[in-house]
Amino acid sequence: MNIVFMGTPDFAVPSLLQLLEHDYNVVGVVTQPDRPKGRKRVLTPPPVKEAALKAGLPVMQPVRLRNPEAVAALAEWQPDLIVTAAYGQILPKEVLDMPRLGCINVHASLLPRYRGGAPIHHAIMNGESKTGVTIMYMAEGLDTGDMISQVEVPITEEDNAGTMFEKLAHAGAKLLIETLPDLIAGRAPRIPQQESEATYAPNITREQEKIDWSRSAREIFNQVRGLSPWPVAYTIWDGEVMKVWACKVLDASTKHTSHAPGTVLALKPEGIDVSCGSGVVRLTMVQPAGKKAMAAADFVRGGKMKEGTVLGI
C-alpha cells in the first residue's frame, strides 16, 4: 500500500516518523517550498523536508499543489492513501479523489471546534482547559470532512502554544497509528461533524498579537501564552514594539480605577506589574526593540522603564 505524506512544520514530523517506524510504505512527501528565515533571510527547508530527506524519501515542494504539473507528478507515486498534517495548502478535488482509501488529516483540535489554520493558538487564547486531535477524512470545505477518531489533551496553566504544539504533535501521531488499521480494513467510522457546533480558528493577524490592556488580566495572560513562542504578543513602550513572551496573573479582578489600563504599577526583581482593565499581570519575560528576549528581572535592572509608564501608547 502506497502512502503519500503531506506536512510542513514541526507538528507534522512525529506523524511522518511514526508511519516509517511502523513500516508503512511512504512513497513520497509533499511539503511547502523552502522559505527565507531569520534576520539574514537564509533560505530554510521546512522541518518535514529535513525529516523526509534524512529518511531517504523523495520530496515534492510545489508552490501550488493545484497546478496540473504538480497533480500529475503526485499521481506518478500512485498513492492508495494520502495523510496530511498541517500541510498548509488546500487539496484540490483531483487530489482528494486520487487515492482509493481517500485523504485523511491530522487536525489539532476537537472538531468541529477550531476549524482552520491556527487551532492551537486560538484554543489557548480563548482560555480552553482542553483541546485535542482529530483524524478526519478530507473534504473540499475547510476542515469539514467526516471524523474518524479523536483524543483529548488537557491545557494546563503552565502550557503555552509551544508546549501544546509538541503535546498535540505526539498525540496526533499516536492516534494516527492507532486509526490506520481500521481505515485500511474498511472498518473506520465516518462521523459527520455537527455544523451548529463549528467554530473557526483563522491564522493569527498582527492586530491579534497586540495587547489590549483594557482587557482582563486573565484574558491578557491567555493571549500572551497562546502566542508564545511564536508569533509572540507585543505592546508599545517608548514608541517602539516590546514583545511580551510570558506573564502571570497577580490579581484577577481588582479594578485599579486610579490608573489607566497598561500602567506600570511596580518594577520588581520578579517582573513588571501592569494594571489591566480588571486585575494585574506581572510580565516575566520581555523583548525590547532591537534586543533579545530576556527575563523581566534583567530588564528591570537596566532601569530604563519607570513606574507610572503607560504601555500600549
Indicate the annotated binding residues: 109-112
Side chain identity at 232, as an amino acid letter? V
What residue has cell string 500602567?
A: 263
Q: How many CA atoms lie within 13 A of 221 on its CB side?
A: 24
What residue has cell string 504538480?
A: 70
Tell me the C-alpha distance between 128 and 117, whole Å: 17
Largest CA distance in the chain: 69
Q: Is the pLDDT of residue 141 over 90?
A: no
Averaged pLDDT score across all residues of the chain:
96
The radius of gyration of the chain's CA atoms, rounded to the nearest angstrom, is 22
Q: Is the pLDDT of residue 15 over 80?
A: yes
Tell me the C-alpha distance between 270 and 165, whole Å: 28
Residue-level pLDDT at 255:
76
Q: Using H for helix, E for strand and C for coil, what is the string for the chain?
A: CEEEEEECCHHHHHHHHHHHHCCCEEEEEECCCCEEECCCCEEECCHHHHHHHHCCCCEECCCCCCCHHHHHHHHCCCCCEEEEECCCCCCCHHHHCCCCCCEEEEECCCCCCCECCCHHHHHHHCCCCEEEEEEEECCCCCCCCCEEEEEEEECCCCCCHHHHHHHHHHHHHHHHHHHHHHHHHCCCCCECCCHHHCCECCCCCHHHHECCCCCEHHHHHHHHHHCCCCCCEEEEECCEEEEEEEEEEEECCCCCCCCCCCEEEEEECCEEEEECCECEEEEEEEECCCCCCEEHHHHHHCCCCCCCCECCC
* 11 within 8 A of 35, measured Cβ to Cβ: no
pLDDT band at 302 (very low <50, low <70, confident <90, very high): confident
Tell me the C-alpha distance between 181 and 186, whole Å: 9
Burial class, 215, CB count within 10 angstroms (exposed 0-12 / middle 13-18 / buried 19+) = middle
Please give the grid coordinates belonging to residue 51: 525529516
Residue-level pLDDT at 40:
82
Tell me the C-alpha distance between 274 and 27, whole Å: 54
pTM (two decimals): 0.94
The model's pLDDT over 95-139, given as tens digits with 9 standing for 90+, comes to 999 999 999 999 999 999 999 999 999 999 999 999 999 999 999
Residue-level pLDDT at 14:
98
Tell me the C-alpha distance between 216 and 120, whole Å: 21
Q: Is the pLDDT of residue 67 over 90?
A: yes
Residue-level pLDDT at 52:
98
The model's pLDDT over 236-270, given as tens digits with 9 standing for 90+, comes to 999 999 999 999 999 898 877 788 999 999 999 99
Residue-level pLDDT at 305:
93
Residues 60-82: what's their mean pLDDT?
96
Residues 161-190: what's their mean pLDDT?
97
* 202 within 8 A of 117, measured Cβ to Cβ: yes
How much of the chain exceeds pLDDT 70, in percent?
100
Residues 168-191: what's their mean pLDDT?
97
Residue-level pLDDT at 246:
98
Indicate the annotated binding residues for (6S)-5,6,7,8-tetrahydrofolate: 109-112
Tell me the C-alpha distance between 166 and 10, whole Å: 8
Tell me the C-alpha distance between 291 and 12, whole Å: 31
